[in-house]
Amino acid sequence: DIQMTQSPSTLSASVGDRVTITCRASQSLSNWLAWYQQKPGKAPKLLIYKASILETGVPSRFSGSASGTEFTLTITSLQPDDFATYYCQHYKTYFPAFSFGPGTKVDIQ
């Protein structure tokens, strides 16, 4: 089974910082990889799908990229509204199933 890992698990940052979160898979994945933002008590919100496509309405400071088994979410200039937990999610095409990474919490330094 494909295992998803995220690093770091927690990240302390300041407003204006460039932030990078990495999602790695135990084996090569398709580009069916999505990123979500979740705030306490709220449902996750889709930010990026198919590894690098920005969901409608999501600010352009968010971006995604892929390289082999490594996927990256970058926030170019962290804003107060961005302090949250971020999850990656993969879709496994050969057996219809989805898996989520364990999450990365971005908090205020």
Partner 1 sequence: EVQLVESGGGLVLPGGSLRLSCAASGFTLNSYLMSWVRQTPGKGLEWVAHINQDGSEKYYVDSVKGRFTISRDNADNSLYLQMNSLTAEDTAVYYCARLAIWSFDNWGQGTLVTVSS
Q: Residue numbers of the site for partner 1 (CB under 8 A)?
A: 32, 34, 36, 42-46, 49-50, 55, 87, 89, 91, 96-100, 102-103
Q: At its nearest, how many Å lie between partner 1 and the CB of residue 27?
A: 18
* CA angle, residues 108, 81, 45, in degrees to nearest 5: 115
Q: At its nearest, how many Å lie between partner 1 and the CB of residue 61?
A: 20
Q: Which residue lies nearer to partner 1 by CB, 70 or 98?
A: 98
- Supply φ then ψ for residue 81, to 5 degrees: -75, -10
Q: Which residue lies nearer to partner 1 by CB, 19 or 44?
A: 44
Instruction: Could you list the beta-strand ranges (E) of the chain.
Output: 4-7, 10-13, 19-25, 33-38, 45-49, 53-54, 62-67, 70-75, 85-92, 97-100, 104-108
> DSSP secondary-structure letter at 55?
P
Q: Which residue lies nearer to partner 1 by CB, 17 or 58?
A: 58
State how far the Cα of 27 lies from the Cα of 46, in Å rounded to an integer.
24
Q: Which residue lies nearer to partner 1 by CB, 53 or 108?
A: 53
> What's the length of the chain?
109
Q: At its nearest, how many Å lie between partner 1 and the CB of residue 90?
A: 9
Q: At its nearest, how many Å lie between partner 1 and the CB of residue 8?
A: 15
